[in-house]
A and B are shown apart, each in its own frame.
Chain A
């Protein structure tokens, strides 16, 4: 049977452009309108006057900058040597280490912050208790105090340095070994080669990493909400969130969100100006595998150091979560005698929000991953094949959400969809839009690089044989990209489960997700249930990832690209 042959691609491309435009222009537009309006809707600059003169706004601004700069610096100092150890030396367990770093990224940062409270609250913190027992220090002395600016920065670093590490390690993997070989053949020693060749080549990546860390710390909501408020200070994100308390001040919230947006856009722009050209230098062509530097007697200490660093985002927090989940009181070390399933029974037998929140979360994660994947696939296809004249606009729109912090997007979407024509607030659709928007740039980048590996000739063959563009995409390009599709799907899925900052603004009682439920439980101090829920979502995530990985035959996008 032959269907009337109609090339669906035109309306489809039109729809994609429209969707992207609405997704980004609508919330940002309303944000700007609100920031320059008073309560009655008249134009004013008063919100910005408040923002820059009222100390209750100035202090969070300064605090936020301090956090962002220090996080960025510390992440680089920690991640760069670590990346080098893993990628360029014969340190044992390097592969395991990489897998574990990925695992640490599955942990939502706010769960990490709560776990670090269990570990390093000055009196009840498990580490402080151990320290007091070992040293015999008096009851009110503490080794760590997590409720401080330093404590907050530490926790943010724990869940940010893995990103920088991955960037650096990947860049070092791809770095041409020949250049280093040449250097040493010309008589330079190991360290001179490192200084003259390896470091300069890695520098652009490191700067990119510094920027990512800066932006993460600038825009993070969960960790400061959990650690800064008890310590008596705000960051910009928690301040924005507090403006939604009754009576809500959306105008001020919008005005507070704008500097975050402007700063993020400016930094990304600066990055592309400074690094845009250089970062491709090591990407072109194929080179020999880099040589591994022999650490000799330092092999074991290096591995120990790496694992010690990993204990900060991974081993210690999970130990604390397990302890709390099965302990009657979070500050007591669980023993066979005190082991209890009370928290588990409470979470799954009594807490009536558990199941709805889990269902909402998994539904949203699946939907978002699918929708976002499809959208990113289409956009990257159009851009990669330059299928329409306006493709640079699409490229811009698909990357733009990178510059919109989660909480800012939350505020923007809230303003855009609490009014006709699309009153989506209160439905899961507004959350879906938020998650798809947030995850789109990463998904798009994945596919863009994947498309470079698929030869257009294959598609052209399909087209010449009479298939429509859509059919070609479905029958030829899609299967070739299977590994990338699965990887992207997983990536978005995990991202949605971790997301709190937009959800905390956009949820209503019926559309609560697990992240918000955990946050609610945090505010009433129900840490037992938090521990059980956190472990549950991590187990579910791990299960989904394992399943997806099996479907994608375990090959990730990066490997596919190097094979081609």
Chain B
């Protein structure tokens, strides 16, 4: 039974019949926690954010709490997922804080019983309830989108695609770069949504457009910036915007059909060797200060209501968004990868 089905059957129960919920009590950043975290001295942070955002963020945390080193372990979310599975199977307990661009991973890890319950004070207070796991095992850290973008030096605004179907036009053949759902959680999430909305035939046709196939959703922004291809079929929206804000000739297109939304949950592994440093890192990232840091640097959409989204970026409510279905991704990820490989050959 998928998670969505479970939720809807719970909804049928009279309110009082449900166990009050396993939500743990919220914990604040106390001097005792900071002290204990410093004693541990280090924390690993497995994630899929672009290095240009996550490394400065880790450094900001290290500056705020001297004596605690953050080991940033960045790869594509799907790659992180296999690495964690492999490490857990080999009893290597190195993952402390884990953050994925594929929300389905947290469904899988919850089922495995790998996650530790933890809700920080700021999360309990300022994060919408639907972004928090009912058992307090994970919580959305930020949201980003998968957008289309193009290099204005290589493509005039008049020639630019408006949406996904436009990309199938033969005039764009050989001019596009695209990331891979077997590597990137952003792309896995987006591929499920797009295949649901437009059908797999869209991908079948797209695969005949001589697309340059890269891995990470963070690479198409770098490729169109370098002028290697004119159009990024998809990619992490915040990197397109960051590039544009740096003065690069990049224009973002929110597809007319709809834009895939990507929630990035974060949680702590039960097997962590640095439980206090892990709690401190999560608490800080979810605090207004941590969230503001992410927004200021990258303009991703914050989960904490105290923090406003970045000026100059479209509001989420103004965008036609595709609905996220992590439970379906959790169930169908292998199928999606296989189907994708059938069309794109890799």
Number of B interface residues, CB 8 Å? 58
Closest residue of chain A to B341, judged by CB? A56
Closest residue of chain A to B50, judged by CB? A524
Which residues of the other chain, B, contact A426 by a CB distance below 8 angstroms? 87, 90, 92
Task: List 13 interface pairs A-B (beta carbons < 8 Å), by A numbering.
Answer: A231-B212, A233-B346, A245-B82, A245-B182, A246-B85, A331-B227, A331-B228, A352-B55, A356-B71, A426-B92, A509-B83, A521-B51, A524-B219
- Cβ B219 vs Cβ A525 within 8 A: yes
Residue from A147, A229, A423 whose CB has the most chain B CB atoms within 10 Å: A229
Which residues of the other chain, B, contact A529 by a CB distance below 8 angstroms? 51
Distance between Cα atoms of A147 and B42 in the complex (Å): 41
Question: Is A248 on the interface with B (CB-CB < 8 A)?
Answer: yes
> What does the 1/0 interface line of B63-93 toward A look like (CB < 8 Å)?
0000001111111101101110111011110
- Cβ B228 vs Cβ A123 within 8 A: yes
Question: Is B3 on the interface with A (CB-CB < 8 A)?
Answer: no
Question: Is B339 on the interface with A (CB-CB < 8 A)?
Answer: no
B223 CB contact (under 8 Å) in A231, A246, A346, A525: A525
Q: A233-B345, A245-B82 are in contact. List 19 more A-B contacts (CB 8 A).
A: A56-B341, A123-B227, A140-B154, A230-B213, A233-B346, A242-B346, A247-B334, A248-B85, A329-B248, A508-B87, A509-B83, A523-B76, A523-B214, A523-B215, A523-B216, A524-B51, A524-B216, A524-B218, A524-B219
B346 CB contact (under 8 Å) in A140, A234, A350, A508: A234
Question: Is A178 on the interface with B (CB-CB < 8 A)?
Answer: no
Question: Is B113 on the interface with A (CB-CB < 8 A)?
Answer: no
Interface of B is mostly: mixed
- Report the minimal beta-carbon distance from A418 to chain B, rounded to whole angstroms: 5
Q: Which of chain A's residues 337-395 have a Cβ closer than 8 Å to chain B?
A: 346, 350-353, 356
Which residues of the other chain, B, contact A219 by a CB distance below 8 angstroms? none
Question: Is B94 on the interface with A (CB-CB < 8 A)?
Answer: yes
Question: Is B222 on the interface with A (CB-CB < 8 A)?
Answer: yes
Distance between Cα atoms of A235 and B40 in the complex (Å): 45
- Report the minimal beta-carbon distance from A490 to chain B, rounded to whole angstroms: 32
Question: Is A124 on the interface with B (CB-CB < 8 A)?
Answer: yes
Question: Is B24 on the interface with A (CB-CB < 8 A)?
Answer: no
- Cβ A525 vs Cβ B75 within 8 A: no
> What does the 1/0 interface line of A49-84 toward B look like (CB < 8 Å)?
000000010010000000000000000000000000
- Cβ B81 vs Cβ A508 within 8 A: no
Which residues of the other chain, A, contact B142 by a CB distance below 8 angstroms? none
- Cβ A350 vs Cβ B226 within 8 A: no
Are A245 and B78 also in contact (CB < 8 A) when A121-B228, A423-B91 are? yes
Question: Is B238 on the interface with A (CB-CB < 8 A)?
Answer: no
> What does the 1/0 interface line of A29-60 toward B look like (CB < 8 Å)?
00000000000000000000000000010010
Q: Which of chain B's residues 158-185 have a Cβ closer than 8 Å to chain A?
A: 174-175, 182-183
Question: Is A425 on the interface with B (CB-CB < 8 A)?
Answer: yes
- Report the minimal beta-carbon distance from A501 to chain B, rounded to whole angstroms: 17
- Cβ B345 vs Cβ A509 within 8 A: no
Which residues of the other chain, A, contact B213 by a CB distance below 8 angstroms? 229-232
Report the tally of A-B residue pairs with Cβ distances under 8 A: 135
Which residues of the other chain, B, contact A228 by a CB distance below 8 angstroms? 346
A interface residue count range (under 10 / 10 to 19 / 20 to 34 / 35 or more)? 35 or more
Distance between Cα atoms of A225 and B337 in the complex (Å): 18
- Cβ A124 vs Cβ B227 within 8 A: yes
Q: Which of chain A's residues 199-214 have a Cβ closer than 8 Å to chain B?
A: none
Which residues of the other chain, A, contact B85 by a CB distance below 8 angstroms? 246-248
Which residues of the other chain, A, contact B234 by a CB distance below 8 angstroms? none
Distance between Cα atoms of A423 and B58 in the complex (Å): 32
Question: Is A7 on the interface with B (CB-CB < 8 A)?
Answer: no
- Cβ B154 vs Cβ A139 within 8 A: yes
Distance between Cα atoms of A121 and B219 in the complex (Å): 15
Question: Is B44 on the interface with A (CB-CB < 8 A)?
Answer: yes
Residue from A121, A123, A230, A524 whose CB has the most chain B CB atoms within 10 Å: A524
Question: Is B344 on the interface with A (CB-CB < 8 A)?
Answer: yes
> What does the 1/0 interface line of B192-223 toward A look like (CB < 8 Å)?
00000000000000000001111110110011
Question: Is B56 on the interface with A (CB-CB < 8 A)?
Answer: yes
Question: Is A330 on the interface with B (CB-CB < 8 A)?
Answer: yes
Q: Which of chain A's residues 513-559 have a Cβ closer than 8 Å to chain B?
A: 520-521, 523-527, 529
Question: Is A510 on the interface with B (CB-CB < 8 A)?
Answer: yes
Are A418 and B228 also in contact (CB < 8 A) when A233-B346, A352-B71, A523-B76 are? no
B51 CB contact (under 8 Å) in A140, A246, A526: A526
Interface of A is mostly: loop
- Cβ A329 vs Cβ B214 within 8 A: no
Which residues of the other chain, A, contact B79 by a CB distance below 8 angstroms? 245, 523
- Cβ B70 vs Cβ A234 within 8 A: no
Distance between Cα atoms of A510 and B44 in the complex (Å): 10
- Cβ A244 vs Cβ B58 within 8 A: no
Which residues of the other chain, A, contact B218 by a CB distance below 8 angstroms? 524-525
Distance between Cα atoms of A247 and B213 in the complex (Å): 22
Closest residue of chain B to A427, judged by CB? B92
Distance between Cα atoms of A4 and B317 in the complex (Å): 86
- Cβ B82 vs Cβ A244 within 8 A: yes
Closest residue of chain B to A117, judged by CB? B228
- Cβ A508 vs Cβ B92 within 8 A: yes
Residue from B72, B87, B228, B337 whose CB has the most chain A CB atoms within 10 Å: B228
Question: Is B225 on the interface with A (CB-CB < 8 A)?
Answer: yes
Distance between Cα atoms of A352 and B78 in the complex (Å): 21
Question: Is B229 on the interface with A (CB-CB < 8 A)?
Answer: yes
Are A525 and B214 also in contact (CB < 8 A) when A353-B72, A423-B91 are? yes
Distance between Cα atoms of A140 and B32 in the complex (Å): 61
Are A124 and B215 also in contact (CB < 8 A) when A233-B346, A423-B90 are? no
- Cβ B346 vs Cβ A232 within 8 A: yes
- Cβ B76 vs Cβ A351 within 8 A: no
- Cβ A246 vs Cβ B175 within 8 A: no
- Cβ B226 vs Cβ A329 within 8 A: yes
Which residues of the other chain, B, contact A523 by a CB distance below 8 angstroms? 75-76, 79, 183, 214-216, 219
Question: Is B305 on the interface with A (CB-CB < 8 A)?
Answer: no
Question: Is B320 on the interface with A (CB-CB < 8 A)?
Answer: no
Are A350 and B75 also in contact (CB < 8 A) when A123-B228, A234-B346, A509-B83 are? no
- Cβ B345 vs Cβ A232 within 8 A: yes
- Cβ A246 vs Cβ B228 within 8 A: no
Closest residue of chain B to A426, judged by CB? B92
Which residues of the other chain, A, contact B223 by a CB distance below 8 angstroms? 124, 525
Which residues of the other chain, A, contact B92 by a CB distance below 8 angstroms? 425-426, 508, 510
Question: Is B59 on the interface with A (CB-CB < 8 A)?
Answer: yes
